[in-house]
Amino acid sequence: MNLPVLYHWSPRDRREAIRSAGLKPYSQSTLVSEDASAEWAHGFGCICFGTNPGRAWSLSGDMQHVSEIEEWDLWQLQRIADADEVRIRAEFGPEIMEVRIFNPIPADRLWWVGVRG
């Protein structure tokens, strides 16, 4: 199966860290609210990607408890490596909604697409 191009949104203030170190599982997640359990306090064990910018937005910036974040960066994953641990979230339909990668994604495999304010 060939996966489509994948997208990930992150808060603008993380841009320089992503440009230098890429995306990492267990980074502080924007989806974790202040009252979240300790289990999720340090983020998820994967990086979540959508198959288009809109689907990626629904996985991150479209959550009510992150409304205080004013600017978001859109990242495109240039390629999936053979060694990547990729899991496609189970859905009851013909389209892929979310792809999860359980290892770090180096910066040289990411392309900064733009910013949403």
Sign of CA dihedral 65, 54, 45, 17: negative
Query: Is residue 25 predicted with pLDDT exceeding 70?
Result: yes
User: Is residue 109 within 8 Å of residue 45, measured between CB atoms?
Assistant: no
* Alpha carbons 57 and 59: distance in angstroms, whole number: 5
Q: Give the mean pLDDT of the chain.
A: 84
In the chain, where the domains are located: 6-116
Full-model pTM: 0.83
Quick one: fold of 6-116? Heat-Labile Enterotoxin; Chain A (3.90.210)
At residue 92, the pLDDT reads 76
More confident residue, 100 or 28: 100
Residue 109 has a CB neighbour count (10 Å cut-off) of 17
Q: If you average pLDDT over residues 19-38, what whole number do you get?
A: 71
Residues with Cβ within 8 Å of 48's Cβ and at least 6 positions away in sequence, in order, are 8, 56, 59, 60, 98, 99, 100
Q: Are strands 110-116 and 47-49 parallel, antiparallel or unpaired?
A: unpaired
In tens, the pLDDT along 30-71 reads: 555 455 444 444 457 899 999 999 999 988 876 665 667 889
